[in-house]
Amino acid sequence: MSGKKKAETTKEDKKTDKSPFTPKIEKVTVNIGVGEAGERLNKAESVLNGITKNKPVQTLSRTTNKDWGLRERMPIGCKVTLRGKDAEAFLKDALQTRENKMADYSFDDEGNLSFGIPDHTLFKDQKYDPNIGIFGMDISITMEKAGYRVKRRRTNRRKIPHRHRVKKEETMNFFTETFNVEVV
């Protein structure tokens, strides 16, 4: 009799949120691309700091492009990486600016999600300041399941098998259930 109870609890455990089969948010990356260094980049950093409450890091160009006036390793933008509860709190606010609607093409085959916000003043605590201007931002959400440390660890590193990778449908279901996002 105890064997039946044990089997029943394992089936129920697979359906709970702490199951290794359910996806989770690994990180949220917020990026503002300015295209130039200087005062405009400093303003973008202050906007990103005000929205995420974290200090942004400058992103550097990888190549030289004379037409755009870019040199290699020139600062051209800023980004912030959020994890844990900070990521979830920011994501709730960011999804509200999109009215909790997301296009299905925003999800990739690996289960990640990316979308843009055209105006930083759409966040509820931000107001337009003529000295700063308006900045749009890109938000990328990386999804994982338990056990993804295998691909990042230093020794005995391995690939994640296909059966354990996050799929597009799983991420859509996760955002529908967790954040009440309507996938259009």
Which pLDDT does position 42 carry in this prediction? 92
Which pLDDT does position 22 carry in this prediction? 87
Among 61, 50, 43, 53, which Cα is nearest to 135's? 43
Among 45, 12, 139, 123, which Cα is nearest to 87's? 139
User: Which of the listed ranges 75-84, 126-135, 143-152 does the model predict with the highest average pLDDT?
Assistant: 75-84
CATH number of the structural domain 22-183:
3.30.1440.10
Q: Do the Cβ atoms of 36 and 60 come closer than 8 Å?
A: no
State yes or no: pLDDT of 146 exceeds 90. no
Average pLDDT over residues 92-101: 90
State yes or no: pLDDT of 106 exceeds 60. yes
For the chain, percent helix, then strand, then coil, each to nearest 5?
Answer: 35, 25, 40
Which pLDDT does position 18 carry in this prediction? 64
State yes or no: pLDDT of 8 exceeds 60. no
